[in-house]
């Protein structure tokens, strides 16, 4: 019987890559990079062999979609930020059997989901950035699930999360589950970016205060209250991908029955107007 051995909400900001390059951002995201490495270390110590990543940079309209290819290899340039992420090499094994099983289970539960095995379907950077730092010392297969959901509701994403857990438990996999996305996500307008040192600042004090409050709720294990406010939080604070990655995470953990205190691995930090962190959700 398989199991989810570790779950986490993780940042994927492009400045993590820039932090390792010469320039004004060099060294500034080391805490986030170290957080990725620490989460991977803990997952591997618990026997993780596969990472399932709910990726808020993979936008979808109809149905839910899973990239379940057997191999991912290539060079990635972001069409959103080609000046930040360009010619990023990647080379990972996938887990088609698990990806197919998640899709079948989600569809059976009422959330129509397709798994794809296409060499031309690239991974998005919500998957590639965490994998870049987590895979340096720890080899794991990857399954990527689209979580920038434009016409879906959180209840459907909860079902996808429940399907992830059911499929994992029916397998022989030890899985690390990642919700890849920010907290608040109101990026600075282009005309205001430079004047506000946008790379290192938050665009809304309201969003910052809400983010910090949510982190306190998570650390206290008050997830039931958080889930009551999730739709409004995602809407009013511009949650990345409407926070469908987070809904999937909670679906896999038991939704409002989940009550474990979380651990903030990377202290909260602003990036390009958004609120970012790395948080472990104990299982």
Secondary structure of residue 131 in the 3-state scheme: helix
Q: What is the pLDDT of residue 112?
A: 98
Whole-angstrom distance, CA of residue 17 vs CA of residue 29: 8
Q: Model-level pTM?
A: 0.98
**Average model confidence (pLDDT) across the chain:** 97
Q: What is the pLDDT of residue 34?
A: 98
* CATH hierarchy code of domain 3-281: 3.40.830.10
* Confidence at 30, pLDDT banded by 50, 70, 90: very high
**pLDDT tens, 59-74?**
999 999 999 999 999 9
The pairing of beta strand 113-116 with beta strand 64-67: parallel
- Phi and psi (nearest 5°) for 177? -105, 125
- CA Rg value for the chain: 17
Task: Give the residue extent of every domain in the chain.
Answer: 3-281
Residue with tokens 């959330």: 111
Q: What is the pLDDT of residue 56?
A: 98
Q: What is the pLDDT of residue 64?
A: 98
Write the burial class of residue 236 (CB in 10 Å: 0-12 exposed, 13-18 middle, 19+ buried). middle
DSSP annotation of 135:
T
Distances (CA, A) of 187 to 13, 54, 56, 240: 12, 21, 15, 10
Work out the average pLDDT over 242-264.
Answer: 98
**pLDDT tens, 201-236?**
999 999 999 999 999 999 999 999 999 999 999 999
Q: What is the pLDDT of residue 43?
A: 98
């Amino acid at each position: 019987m398989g199991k989810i051995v570790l779950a986490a909400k993780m940042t994927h900001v492009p400045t993590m890559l820039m932090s390792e390059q010469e320039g004004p951002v060099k060294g500034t995201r080391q805490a986030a990079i170290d957080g990725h490495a620490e989460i991977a270390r803990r997952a591997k110590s618990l026997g993780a062999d596969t990472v399932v990543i709910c990726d808020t940079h993979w936008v979808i309209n109809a149905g839910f979609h899973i990239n379940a290819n057997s191999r991912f290899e290539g060079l990635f340039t972001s069409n959103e930020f080609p000046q930040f992420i360009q010619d990023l090499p990647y080379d990972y094994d996938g887990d088609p059997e698990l990806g197919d099983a998640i899709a079948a289970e989600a569809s059976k539960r009422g959330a129509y989901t397709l798994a794809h095995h296409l060499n031309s379907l690239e991974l998005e950077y919500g998957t590639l950035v965490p994998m870049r730092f987590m895979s340096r010392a720890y080899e794991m297969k990857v399954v990527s699930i689209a979580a920038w959901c434009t016409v879906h509701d959180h209840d459907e994403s909860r079902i996808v999360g429940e399907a992830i857990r059911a499929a994992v438990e029916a397998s022989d996999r030890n899985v690390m589950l990642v919700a890849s996305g920010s907290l608040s996500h109101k990026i600075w307008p282009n005309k205001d970016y430079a004047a506000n040192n946008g790379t290192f600042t938050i665009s809304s004090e309201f969003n910052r205060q809400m983010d910090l409050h949510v982190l306190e709720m998570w650390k206290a294990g008050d997830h039931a209250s958080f889930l009551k406010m999730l739709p409004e939080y995602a809407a009013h604070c511009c949650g990345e991908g409407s926070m469908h990655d987070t809904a999937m995470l909670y679906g896999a953990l038991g939704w409002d029955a989940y009550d474990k205190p979380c651990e903030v691995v990377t202290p909260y930090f602003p990036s390009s107007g958004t609120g970012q962190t790395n948080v472990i959700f104990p299982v």
